[in-house]
Amino acid sequence: MRQVLRRALGALSILVGIALLNFLLLQLAPGDMVDAMVGEAGGATPEYMAELRAKFGLDQPMFVRLARYLGALAQLDLGYSHRKQAEVLSLILDRLPPTLLLMTAALSIALPVGTLLGATQSRRQGSWLDTLLSVIVLSTHALPAFWLGLMAIVFLAADRGWFPTGGMTSFDAPADGWDRALDVLHHLALPALTLANVYIAVYARLMRSALLELKGADFIRTARAKGLSTERVFWVHTVRNALLPMVTMLGMQIASMLSGAVIVESVFGWPGLGRLAFEAVVARDTNLLLGIMFLGSILVTLVNLGVDLLYSVIDPRVLARGAS
């Protein structure tokens, strides 16, 4: 319990750090909120701008502004998007579910496929199959996600019509029920595969090296010695142990997956956080961008906490080691 509390406290301090980073960026960037608003309105008198600054508290000393900023973030008040005429928080929460769906789908493709590839490679270490798979994994890893997405649109969606070219639902989609779920799934396929591509490579390489490292381990010799079949020892004993480091990676990869989602969602017009970030970039909406980054970081922190807990359930030694 104390362990959990300490983790949570650590996570909190990181979020405060990220809030500080946001504030720092806002201070360093040329121009402030009032400049942006006035620029949009097409100009204003210096007196009116000063009045606006006073209204938003921008004329206060830096400490006061920082305290206000942190206070607002602590209440999850991420400010107002003047472009979209809406609270940043509600904009983000609206777009969160599609992104979570996309990331979950990509992970559930990447994890098993990567594991299978890595396992196959490690069993045939040094064979032509190992080399071939290595080359494939290396090459697909080098492909930019946006390029893969665009090519998928050209060759799988537009020409052949196998998949929709973008969005999350069809115009004539049924409102609910199984048909709607199938429609969303149909739209999800290409974005999820595109996002999964990078991680398939990552997991395959991780799995391969983890399995090779376990090859001479004592517990595997024991399992063999007690008469278990090669297949059983490999899939039940070795692979299961090699999965442990992959769970850790999973937590670390949520941040990079959010980054990948920005690109993939912009390619496919998937209406999630990433697409929102893209719209914010096009509209130069700083408030919204910083809000997305902050909420994204909260998401990463929560997932990491979850992974930590999950990890100590899978492998009790972790807790014991952490406490000592």
Partner 1 sequence: MRPAAWIGGVLLALVAALALFGPLVFPRDPWAMDGLPLLWPAEDPAFPLGTDSLGRDLAAGIASGAWVSLLVGVSSAAVSLGIGVTLGTLAGFYRGRCETLMMRVTELFQTVPSFVLAVVIVAMFGASLTTIILSVGVVSWPASARLTRAQVLQVSAREFVLAARALGMNDARLLVRHVLPNALPPVISVGTLAISNAILSAAGLSFLGLGDPQVLDWGGIIHEGREQLLDAWYICALPGLAIMLAVLGFNMLGDVLIDRSQPRLGP
Residues near partner 1 (CB under 8 A) are 10, 13-14, 17-18, 21, 25, 28-30, 138-139, 141-147, 150-151, 153-154, 158, 215-216, 252, 255-256, 258-260, 262-263, 266, 277-278, 280-282, 284, 286, 289-290, 292-293, 296-297, 300-301, 304
Residues constituting the chain:
324
| Residue 305 and residue 8 in contact, taking contact as beta carbons nearer than 8 Å | yes
Q: How far is the CB of 95 from partner 1 (least distance, A)?
A: 14
Smallest distance, partner 1 to C-beta of residue 320, A: 22
Residue 41: CB minimum distance to partner 1, A: 20
The smaller minimum CB distance to partner 1, of residues 110 and 299, is found at: 299
Whether the CA torsion 268, 146, 294, 251 is positive or negative: it is positive
Q: Which is nearer to partner 1, 115 or 301 (CB)?
A: 301
Closer by beta carbon to partner 1, 17 or else 112: 17
Beta strands in 118-160 (DSSP E): none
The Cα angle at residue 228 between residues 223 and 233, in degrees rounded to 5: 60
Tell me how crowded residue 261 is: count the other CB atoms within 10 A of its CB: 26
Shortest Å, Cβ 166 to partner 1: 11
Q: How far is the CB of 7 from partner 1 (least distance, A)?
A: 12
Q: Which is nearer to partner 1, 127 or 139 (CB)?
A: 139
Nearer to partner 1, 48 or 155 (CB): 155
CB of 252 to partner 1, least distance (A): 7
93 or 138: whose CB is closer to partner 1? 138
Q: Cα–Cα distances in Å, from 246 out to 127, 197, 211, 221, 249? A: 25, 16, 11, 23, 5
Distance CA 141, CA 260 (A): 13
Q: What is the dihedral of CA 152, 102, 167, 151, to 10 degrees?
A: -10
122 vs 126: CA distance, rounded Å: 8
